[in-house]
Structures are given as C-alpha cells and as structure tokens.
Amino acid sequence: MSNEIDLDEIFGKYKSDPYDYIDIYAVHTGVVSFKVEKDAEVNSISGEWQHIPGTPLYEINRERNPKLIHSYVNGTVSEINHDLQGAFVEAGEKLMTIRHPLKKKEIIENILKEVLYLFPAPEKAKYFFALDIQSRIDKKGARSVAITPGDEILTMSLMKRDTPIYYKGEPGIIHSVYFKPGISVEQGTPLIGVCAPDKVPMIQKIITRVKAEWDAIH
C-alpha cells in the first residue's frame, strides 16, 4: 500500500496513452501455432455468465494434446513473436502483446490498485464473503467493515468443498470488491482491495478527480 502517489504524473500517463499493454505468455511447454495476426482485433470473454470464450489467440500442443488459448481482454494485437510459429516453447515464453483500451472505471481501478492492498484469490474458484462479514456489509456497507490479519473473511467454494479464507495483509477497511458471487475467479486475481481508514479521503479524491478530468476530455 503506497503512502505517496503523484496523481498528476499518473493521470498524465493515462491521458497520453489510455491503454494497457498485456503480454500473453505460453501457458505450458509445447509447439505453438498462432491464430491471430499483428493488428488483429480481439474480443474478451463475454456472455451473461462469462461463458463465451474470447478470440482464439494460439494453440499449444504438448504430447498430442492441443489446447486452444483464448483472449481474456479485448483490444488489438500490437506485437507478435512470429519466430515462434510452429516452434517448441517453454512455459512462460512471451508470445504476443495485446493493446487494451482502458475505460474510465478501469483507470480508476488501476490507480486505486497502487494505493490499496490487494488480496488475491488463492485458487480458481467461486468466492463469497464469510457470514459474519456479509452481515456487516449488509448492515453498513463494505467500506465500514474493518478487517485484520487472521480474520475469516471469505469462503472459497470449489467442487462442493467450502474452505474458509483467512485474511493476510495490512489491516484496514474493505474498499473495493472485485468478485461477484457465482462467477469463477482466476487464481491470483484480486478479490478485495483494502486500505487504512485514514486513506479513504485520499482515495475518494482520486476517484472524483479521475471522473471529472476523464469526462472533460471524452
């Protein structure tokens, strides 16, 4: 959780280049076959239940087991490593970059991620708040719920197995909730963003300023 943030510098960066550049890596070893070209438009996962896969990006074949990898963001293929077409790659090899146009909400969240402590999903699963936390959220809203390390904050549900998740991180209030009950969350994706209560005014200032300035230029 950062104490200092140069909002002018950060916001200037987003105004001059309102994109995220997302590198796509080989998910495991295997022979790669690209399904897109440079400058191709790609779509992210969609559908009411997030059930429609994004644009196929590449196929990776390991021991006669081909796996088609889809885009999880929308944007344009800004860079692609054509030398790897048909080549055997190691897990984690960078294959391409997608330029993703940012929306106002995403810019706010990106800036907030620099000041919030982000608590990640330990496994790909569905999550919901622990009963006590949920009841406190229902009564007063998430931003009035203070949590400390060791608190049981979430339940991870996977294959009819419910596991309590204990908070590890800096004490604070639940400022942002990044998951929805019933929708799977990928491992490592932030579930909640936590901040110290004395930082709430600064965060509110960020949100107000981004909204105002973004609306002014769009």
181 counts as binding another protein under rule CB under 8 A: yes
- What gap in Å lies between CA 167 and CA 154, rounded to an integer? 8
Closest CA to 107 of 201, 16, 2: 16
H or E element in which residue 203 lies? helix 200-217
> Which one of residues 92, 101, 141, 182 is an interface residue with another protein (CB under 8 A)?
182
- Minimum separation from the CB atom of position 156 to another protein (A): 9
- Minimum separation from the CB atom of position 30 to another protein (A): 15
What's the sign of the alpha-carbon dihedral 204, 201, 13, 114? negative
> Which one of residues 135, 166, 168, 205 is an interface residue with another protein (CB under 8 A)?
166
Q: Give every CB contact of residue 38 below 8 A, 6+ residues apart in sequence.
A: 77, 78, 79, 80
70 counts as binding another protein under rule CB under 8 A: no
- Minimum separation from the CB atom of position 181 to another protein (A): 7
Order of strands across the sheet with 172-177? 117-120, 190-195, 172-177, 146-147
Residue with tokens 């944007």: 75
Q: Between residues 124 and 205, which has the closer beta carbon with respect to another protein?
A: 124
Tokens found for residue 12: 């200037």
By CB under 8 A, the residues from 101 to 160 that bind another protein are 123-126, 157-160
Q: Between residues 12 and 150, which has the closer beta carbon with respect to another protein?
A: 150
- What gap in Å lies between CA 31 and CA 152, rounded to an integer? 43
- What gap in Å lies between CA 108 and CA 8, rounded to an integer? 14
**Pairing relationship of beta strands 117-120 and 19-25 according to DSSP bridges:** unpaired
163 counts as binding another protein under rule CB under 8 A: yes
Q: Between residues 3 and 65, which has the closer beta carbon with respect to another protein?
A: 65
- Minimum separation from the CB atom of position 90 to another protein (A): 17
By CB under 8 A, the residues from 37 to 66 that bind another protein are 47-49, 51-53
Q: Between residues 116 and 156, which has the closer beta carbon with respect to another protein?
A: 156
- Minimum separation from the CB atom of position 179 to another protein (A): 12
Q: Between residues 18 and 53, which has the closer beta carbon with respect to another protein?
A: 53
Binding site for another protein (CB under 8 A): 47-49, 51-53, 123-126, 157-164, 166, 181-182, 184
